């Protein structure tokens, strides 16, 4: 029997997978979750060390969530295509560091960050669902760096999607800019705004809140609260445990919006034996407070060398809160409204102490991040990026001798964060071939003033392209 999807705030209609995929956020402001946790199949759990094909495992793990939306053979084909472009045959290879620590590399996709793992599949699912309905959308977003390129790579050349991404002119790195502007696909539209990242975000928000404009140009978002992104990320947790035959395994996850580690929780709910999740934060440590004290208070965002984790309110935490409130959506909605109003939240002491048995929160500051990059390089010659370093430092600090193996999720290739790495070890990690070629490719980008009317006119032109 296929699963239905329900909102974490209890008041939105129950939907099927295809509707949840296109809707993103629920009508009551909540996030969609499956109405029950399907069990991992014996096939999914029966991996053997180093072997087993990632795409086969991915289809097997995800199938219960999409059953009914696609024929199995079509779904298998989309999954296979999604991971065919990764530059490692295992897709998510693991490296043993010693002392029971492992590193799982999630950065072998086209933009060298872990978001490719979900977005490469979600772009295909989106296009398929739109084709089935005979619809088109225009994805509009703002990026301060990495999300834009991962989303663009995921939907380039898809027939039913135009994508327009705004970035602040002159304020992102050359590699980040070229990863977007050198994509030679007619449905990709890069815009450099003469302003800051916040200006870009405000422009996007203004377009989405204009209901008529939004409907006329069929605007859609590429945000990290989409259930399908979480779903696609559950697979590598299963792969880590089953391929290497690990027991009593824990995961240390560098965390921003809580999407990655939430996927681990989903895998555990499906029956994957996981001992503990370590939620690793940089100096934006609101989640560390939450997991150590059961309460949290919002403060301002501090910029760090791990920018994808510079977040105060982690939107996917809502899915865990819903579970902790025994799936009471009305209660969850009350807590979140309170949190919005007061900037503070406290969960029940009993719930908090239960949580401590299988979760911990660890904060890692900038100095420790740098010394972790340097220490690993000195001991092993391996180079990691600052996000991964936060995860590794948290793992080293929280691992006890009684614990089993701990897998640190490596979320970005070090070459994406060359400055921080060079500051730590004095060496600039070489760009992999795919990125090195970027320097020679022609760029395409429209530069616009920080002016809503001008940006709207441009989006309107882009949304009309290729549709007739
Ligand atoms: C997005 C991102 C993260 C944070 O992941 P969440 O799912 O938001 O918790 C960590 N590291 C890198 C490199 C990222 O791009």
Residues 435 and 113: their CA atoms lie apart, in Å, by 13
Lateral strand order in the sheet of 359-363: 94-98, 101-105, 406-410, 249-254, 274-281, 359-363
Residue pair 175/113 in contact by the 8 Å Cβ criterion = no
Residues 437 and 429: their CA atoms lie apart, in Å, by 16
Q: Which of 341, 249, 347 is nearest to 292 (CA)?
A: 347
- Taking CA atoms, 398 is separated from 125, 251, 369, 391, 392, in Å, by 38, 11, 15, 11, 10
Cα 166 to ligand 1 centroid, rounded to whole Å:
20
Choosing from 384, 387, 389 the residue with most ligand 1 atoms within 8 A of its CB, the one to mutate for a pocket test is 387
Say yes or no to pLDDT of 108 above 50.
yes
Residues 311 and 112: their CA atoms lie apart, in Å, by 21
Exposed/middle/buried for residue 425 (C-beta within 10 Å: 0-12, 13-18, 19+): middle
Of ligand 1's listed atoms, the one at least distance from the Cα of 259 is 7
List residues near ligand 1 (CB under 6 A).
Answer: 113-115, 146, 224, 254-260, 308-309, 387, 411-412
456 is an active site residue: no
Residues 233 and 215: their CA atoms lie apart, in Å, by 31
pTM: 0.94
Tens of pLDDT along 218-239? 998 877 889 999 999 999 999 9
* Top-tier CATH class for 94-110+227-425: alpha beta
Cα 103 to ligand 1 centroid, rounded to whole Å:
16
| Residue identifier of the C-alpha nearest atom 8 of ligand 1 | 257
Say yes or no to pLDDT of 258 above 90.
yes
Residue pair 250/389 in contact by the 8 Å Cβ criterion = no
Q: Count of alpha carbons within 13 Å of 155, Cβ hemisphere only?
A: 30
Tens of pLDDT along 327-358? 999 999 999 999 989 999 999 999 999 999 99
Domain boundaries, the chain: 94-110+227-425
Q: Which pLDDT does position 146 carry in this prediction?
A: 79
Cα 410 to ligand 1 centroid, rounded to whole Å:
10
| Residue identifier of the C-alpha nearest atom 4 of ligand 1 | 256
**Active-site position among 4, 115, 416, 456:** 115
**What percent of the chain shows pLDDT beyond 70?**
98
Choosing from 105, 114, 408 the residue with most ligand 1 atoms within 8 A of its CB, the one to mutate for a pocket test is 114
Residues 191 and 179: their CA atoms lie apart, in Å, by 13
Say how many residues make up the chain.
Answer: 468
Of ligand 1's listed atoms, the one at least distance from the Cα of 412 is 13
Q: Which pLDDT does position 52 carry in this prediction?
A: 66
Beta strand 359-363 with 274-281 is parallel
Tens of pLDDT along 31-58? 999 999 999 998 888 865 545 699 999 9
Cα 409 to ligand 1 centroid, rounded to whole Å:
10
Choosing from 109, 113, 410 the residue with most ligand 1 atoms within 8 A of its CB, the one to mutate for a pocket test is 113
- Taking CA atoms, 148 is separated from 113, 220, 228, 395, in Å, by 12, 14, 18, 29
Cα 189 to ligand 1 centroid, rounded to whole Å:
24
| Residue identifier of the C-alpha nearest atom 2 of ligand 1 | 308
Cα 290 to ligand 1 centroid, rounded to whole Å:
18
- Taking CA atoms, 368 is separated from 365, 386, 393, in Å, by 5, 10, 7
Tens of pLDDT along 390-445? 999 999 999 887 789 999 999 999 998 999 999 999 999 988 887 888 888 999 99
């Amino acid at each position: 029997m296929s699963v239905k999807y329900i909102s974490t705030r209890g008041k939105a209609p129950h939907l099927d997978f295809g509707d949840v995929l296109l809707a993103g956020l629920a009508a009551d402001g909540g996030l969609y979750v499956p109405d029950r946790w399907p069990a991992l199949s014996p096939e999914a759990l029966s991996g053997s060390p180093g072997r087993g094909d990632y795409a086969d495992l991915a289809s097997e793990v995800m199938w219960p969530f999409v059953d009914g939306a696609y024929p199995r053979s079509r779904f298998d084909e989309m999954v296979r295509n999604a991971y065919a472009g990764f530059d490692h045959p295992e897709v998510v290879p693991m490296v043993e560091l010693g002392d029971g620590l492992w590193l799982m590399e999630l950065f072998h996709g086209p933009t060298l960050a872990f978001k490719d793992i979900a977005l490469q599949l979600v772009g295909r699912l989106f296009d398929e669902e739109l084709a089935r309905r005979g619809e088109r959308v225009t994805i509009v977003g703002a990026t301060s760096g990495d999300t834009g390129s991962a989303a663009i790579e995921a939907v380039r050349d898809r027939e039913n999607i135009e994508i327009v991404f705004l970035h602040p002119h002159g304020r992102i790195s050359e590699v980040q800019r070229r990863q977007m502007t050198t994509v030679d696909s007619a449905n990709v539209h890069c815009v450099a705004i003469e302003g800051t990242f916040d200006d870009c975000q405000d422009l996007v928000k203004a377009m989405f809140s204009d209901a008529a404009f939004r409907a006329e140009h069929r605007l859609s978002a590429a945000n990290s609260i989409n259930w399908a992104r979480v779903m696609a990320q559950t697979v590598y947790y299963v792969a880590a445990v089953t391929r290497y035959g690990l027991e009593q395994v824990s995961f240390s996850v560098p965390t921003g919006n809580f999407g990655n580690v939430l996927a681990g929780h989903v895998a555990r709910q499906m029956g994957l034996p996981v001992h503990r999740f370590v939620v690793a934060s940089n100096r934006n440590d609101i989640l560390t407070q939450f997991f150590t004290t059961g309460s949290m208070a919002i403060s301002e965002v501090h910029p760090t060398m791990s920018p994808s984790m510079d977040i105060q309110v982690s939107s996917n935490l809502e899915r865990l809160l819903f579970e902790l409130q025994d799936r009471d959506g009305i209660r969850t909605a009350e807590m979140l409204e309170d949190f919005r109003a007061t900037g503070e939240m406290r969960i029940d002491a009993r719930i908090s102490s239960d949580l401590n048995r299988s979760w911990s929160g660890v904060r890692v500051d900038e100095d420790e991040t740098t010394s972790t990059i340097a220490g690993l390089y000195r001991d092993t010659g391996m180079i990691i990026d600052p996000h991964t370093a936060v995860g590794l430092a948290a793992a080293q600090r929280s691992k006890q001798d009684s614990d089993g193996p701990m897998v640190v999720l490596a979320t970005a290739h070090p070459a994406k964060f060359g400055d921080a790495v060079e500051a730590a070890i004095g060496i600039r990690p070489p760009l992999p071939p795919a990125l090195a070629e970027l320097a020679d490719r022609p760029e395409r980008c429209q530069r616009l003033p920080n002016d809503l009317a001008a940006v709207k006119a441009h989006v309107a032109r882009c949304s009309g392209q290729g549709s007739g």
